[in-house]
Amino acid sequence: MAKTALCEVADQDLQASMAAFFRSLLALDEISAVMVPMHLPAKDMVMQTLVTDPEALDAVDPLAPSFPMNAARLVSRLTKRPAGGTVAVVLRPCEIRALIELVKLKQGLMDDIVVIGLDCPGAFKNTDYRKFAANEPETATGRFLKGALSGETAFGDGVEVPVACRACTHPVPHGADLSVGLFGIDIDKTFLVSAETEKGEALFEKLGLGEQEPPAKREETIESLVAARTAFRDEMFEKIRENTNTAEKLSAYLAGCINCYNCRVACPVCYCRECVFVTDVFDHDPYQYLRWARRKGKIKMPTDTVFYHLTRMAHMTTACVGCGQCSNACPNDIPLVELFTATASLTQAAFDYEAGRSLAEEPPLSAFKADEYADVVEITH
């Protein structure tokens, strides 16, 4: 069973108390640096920042509803080779699950990091966060948490929690060494810290955290939240499948695609060094476009957009964690996360696999199973 402690929130200032917690963590000899979301000089921007000086942690804001990128990509870069010290990385649940997939795909290691997971009530799209935080960036996180932890998804002026977060059924981190809990907690007074692994327990002891039971309503709060998100997700899946179940419907759904490839760049588990779509394979000769147009009477420009997304789905749906960065990065607001998660749910279910669930599970298609899909390949014993 995990060791748990309730850490005091001084003066009802959760952000300052979280900064103090990370400061004490960085003061340990075992930790060389902390990678944590922090306010930049432009106060309405929060980005992951690698910190080595405990006194530089005053501006940390790991609970800000800002999610400019899935930080699993950053952790992958930090761990491909030895870094010369242990880094504590502060991640949302979907970032941890993406990191697990990247490690299984040989794109990173867990050896030189400590994963600090956060309960996640969600985060806004980039443009919505800037709008929400513009006038009062210092109070933005507190205002968001007050509403989000009470079940609110709309925050006025067109700002709302995006679909990816409302459909996420993993609001609590799994696979972390230490976890920070918010759900079912009076965050004006305390936040929960849990040690989930041997590595986490060692740090728990070093930090001098006394063991305490989590509030009784925590599990009930989490179960209620997951049930509501599951219902939302299932309704979303039904709608998206109805809206894309023919070639014509899928083409209409993706009609706004301009082949910018932002979704590919933003996806935390899309890791190919060279993408086929940026090679000469799709550098068509000019006469080819005219030939296609004459054959059909008209063609949408740019071409190959539907094929691009179908290829991405074929490659990535076994590893998709539903973080929503594909939609966040799309300049034309194509609801890509709905399409990808709906497809991924079917793909992963077919292999009895869930992306990011466990380091011990081999990714689909990476291992041969003699009894898999016998009805398709017609193998009998």
pLDDT > 60? residue 269: yes
Q: Looking at per-residue confidence, does 1 or 102 come out higher?
A: 102
9-47 confidence digits (pLDDT tens): 999 999 999 999 999 999 999 999 999 999 988 667 899
What integer pLDDT is reported at residue 284 of this predicted model? 87
What integer pLDDT is reported at residue 273 of this predicted model? 78
- Give every CB contact of residue 115 below 8 A, 6+ residues apart in sequence: 88, 89, 91, 96, 99, 175, 176, 177, 178
pLDDT > 60? residue 323: yes
pLDDT > 70? residue 197: yes
Number of Cβ within a 10 Å radius of residue 335: 18
What percent of the chain has a predicted confidence (pLDDT) above 70? Answer: 96
What integer pLDDT is reported at residue 137 of this predicted model? 83
CA angle 282, 286, 288 (to 5 degrees): 70
What integer pLDDT is reported at residue 12 of this predicted model? 93
What integer pLDDT is reported at residue 283 of this predicted model? 84
- Give every CB contact of residue 170 below 8 A, 6+ residues apart in sequence: 93, 94, 97
pLDDT > 90? residue 367: no
What integer pLDDT is reported at residue 219 of this predicted model? 96
- Give every CB contact of residue 41 below 8 A, 6+ residues apart in sequence: none
pLDDT > 80? residue 328: yes
CA distances from 89 to 95, 221, 284, 307 (A): 10, 26, 44, 36
Banded model confidence at residue 274, pLDDT cuts 50, 70, 90: confident
78-87 confidence digits (pLDDT tens): 998 888 899 9
Is the separation of the CB atoms in 4 and 214 below 8 Å?
yes
| Mean of pLDDT over the chain | 92
pLDDT > 60? residue 231: yes
CA distance 366 to 377: 18
List the beta bridge partners of residue 46: 39
pLDDT > 60? residue 207: yes
pLDDT > 60? residue 5: yes
What integer pLDDT is reported at residue 376 of this predicted model? 61
CA distance 31 to 113: 9
pTM for the predicted model, two decimal places: 0.93
pLDDT > 60? residue 377: no
What integer pLDDT is reported at residue 380 of this predicted model? 54
194: helix, strand or coil: strand
Alpha helices in 198-216 (DSSP H): 198-206
Strands 190-195 and 87-91: unpaired
What integer pLDDT is reported at residue 136 of this predicted model? 84
> For residue 361, which of 63, 334, 369 has the smallest C-alpha distance?
369
CA distance 258 to 321: 24
HSE-CB for 208 with a 13 A CA cutoff? 4
98-152 confidence digits (pLDDT tens): 999 999 999 999 999 999 999 999 999 999 999 999 878 889 999 999 999 999 9
CA distance 262 to 335: 13
CA distance 18 to 28: 16
CA distance 356 to 22: 25
Banded model confidence at residue 223, pLDDT cuts 50, 70, 90: very high
